[in-house]
Amino acid sequence: MTSQSNWIPVSGSGDLAAASARAVVLPDHDVVIWRTKTGAVHAWENRCPHRGMRMSFGQVRDEKLVCRYHGWGFDEEGQCQNIPASPNAAAPPTACIKTWSCTEKDNLIWVDVSDESAGEGSAMSGDSDGVSSLMFCKSVYTDGDLDKVLALVGSARFLPLGYDGDGRDLDWSMTDLPDLVGDAIQILVSGAGSDQIVITGHQARDGRCGLHIMTPSTGDHDLDRQRRLHYSKWAKRLRWSLSNPDAAQDGFSVFS
């Protein structure tokens, strides 16, 4: 059995294109996340069982992740199916990669790298009450422990899209968001303009963490595109501010 608390948001869904792979570094695990051409996502140990090449350097071909070094191809269960140097021989059953549970929810990719998850498909349940139809905007990476960084983010100030005042008539509040699995906060802006931003993240290695910035979708395609751009820019400013704490005051304040 796996528990909800094992799930880690490692990427925005929109940051992993069809037929692509990329590395995710967690404190105790090197992970490759990859997406098939038809859209399924998988999370594996980022190491080829042949000579140890990182699978994140590989290519997705015929719904298999193919190692860049000698071309071994692994199916969606992590089992090797092709060895180019021995085209007529079946791959040995031991030629397989450790797999973990992986799913998509709220436009994020979540993995469960607990021992219980290895080799099985654990399910993730639960709705994000109060933040329906979340839209992923951008991920940023910064130094620091995730809990501390999330607390710092709460002091960030941003203006709602299209708001043309100086922000003095707006109220900001930050709350934990326990209904979103994993550590998450929401920032609510109210007053003459109103908006909501949701931030979750994952701890990486060497004291770094990733933050995933989201906001509710309006259902209007053009408006959502503008909102995504708006909060993507905000996310970049946030990363800069977190990396330059002496200048953070200016970076965050809407009154400056």
The residue ranges that bind ligand FES (CB under 6 A) are 48, 50-51, 53, 67, 69-72
Please state, in angstroms and as integers, the Cα–Cα distance from residue 171 to each residue in 14, 95, 134, 187, 254, following that order.
31, 57, 22, 10, 12
Pick the closer one to ligand FES by CB: 69 or 172.
69
- 248, 235, 253: which is closest to 198 by C-alpha? 235
- Integer Rg of the chain from CA: 20
Q: How far is the CB of 70 from ligand FES (least distance, A)?
A: 3
Angle subtended at Cα 151 by Cα 163 and Cα 154, rounded to the nearest 5 degrees: 10
d(CA 231, CA 214): 8
CB atoms under 10 Å from CB of 250, counted, come to 10
Residues 6+ apart with CB under 8 A from 242: 142, 143, 144, 149, 152, 153, 248
Pick the closer one to ligand FES by CB: 78 or 144.
78
Pick the closer one to ligand FES by CB: 71 or 193.
71
Pick the closer one to ligand FES by CB: 68 or 208.
68
Q: How far is the CB of 51 from ligand FES (least distance, A)?
A: 3
Pick the closer one to ligand FES by CB: 20 or 190.
20
Pick the closer one to ligand FES by CB: 95 or 118.
95
Q: How far is the CB of 66 from ligand FES (least distance, A)?
A: 8
Q: How far is the CB of 69 from ligand FES (least distance, A)?
A: 4
CB atoms under 10 Å from CB of 249, counted, come to 11
Please state, in angstroms and as integers, the Cα–Cα distance from residue 204 to each residue in 25, 89, 97, 223, following that order.
6, 40, 22, 33
Q: How far is the CB of 72 from ligand FES (least distance, A)?
A: 4
Q: How far is the CB of 52 from ligand FES (least distance, A)?
A: 6
